Amino acid sequence: MTTTIPVRLEERSYDVLVGPGVRNSLPEVVRRLGAQRAVVVSARPPAWVPDTGVETLLLPARDGEHDKRLSTVEELCGEFARFGLTRSDVVVSCGGGTTTDVVGLAAALYHRGVAVVHLPTSLLAQVDASVGGKTAVNLPAGKNLVGAYWQPSAVLCDTDYLTTLPRRELLNGLGEIARCHFIGAPGLRGLPLPEQIAASVTLKAGIVAQDERDTGPRHLLNYGHTLGHALEIATDFALRHGEAVAIGTVFAGRLAGALGRIDQSGVDEHRAVVRHYGLPAALPADVDADVLVRQMRRDKKAIAGLAFVLAGPRGAELVRDVPAEVVTDVLARMPRDRLENLVGATEAAAT
8 shares a domain with 154: yes
**Residue 125 · residue 98 · CB < 8 Å:** no
Q: Are residues 92 and 233 in the same domain?
A: no
Q: How far apart are CA 167 and CA 343, in angstroms?
A: 12
Per residue of the chain (351 residues), give pLDDT as tens: 899 999 999 999 999 999 999 999 999 999 999 999 999 999 999 999 999 999 999 999 999 999 999 999 999 999 999 999 999 999 999 999 999 999 999 999 999 999 999 999 999 999 999 999 999 999 988 889 999 999 999 999 999 999 989 989 999 999 999 999 999 999 999 999 999 999 999 999 999 999 999 999 999 999 999 999 999 999 999 999 999 999 999 999 999 999 999 999 999 999 999 999 999 999 999 999 999 999 999 876 666 679 999 999 999 999 999 999 999 999 999 999 999 888 866 555 543
In a domain, 232, yes or no: yes
Boundary of a domain, candidates 149, 165, 181: 165
| Per-residue pLDDT at 351 | 36
- Cα angle, residue 182 at apex, residues 271 and 95 outer, rounded to 5°: 90
Q: Is there a domain that residue 187 lies in? A: no
Q: Is residue 114 part of a domain?
A: yes
Q: How many domains, in total, are found in the chain?
A: 2
Q: Is residue 247 part of a domain?
A: yes
Are residue 150 and residue 17 in the same domain, yes or no?
A: yes
Given CA atoms 105, 247, 159, 18 in this order, what sign does their dihedral have?
Answer: negative
The answer to the question of residue 185 being in a domain is no
One domain for residues 231 and 327: yes
Whether 261 and 151 map to the same domain: the answer is: no
User: Residue 343: inside a domain, yes or no?
Assistant: yes
Q: What is the pTM of this model?
A: 0.92
| Predicted pLDDT of residue 341 | 84
pLDDT at site 346 = 57
Is 129 in the same domain as 247? no
172: in domain: no
195 belongs to a structural domain: no
Q: The domain spanning residue 305 has which CATH number?
A: 1.20.1090.10
Give backbone dihedrals phi and psi of 170, rounded to 5 degrees, phi first: -65, -45
Together in a domain, 11 and 92: yes
Q: Kindly state whether residues 228 and 140 are assigned to the same domain.
A: no
Q: 291 lies in which domain range? A: 223-349
Listed in sequence order, the DSSP H helices in 91-224 are: 97-109, 123-124, 167-180, 193-210
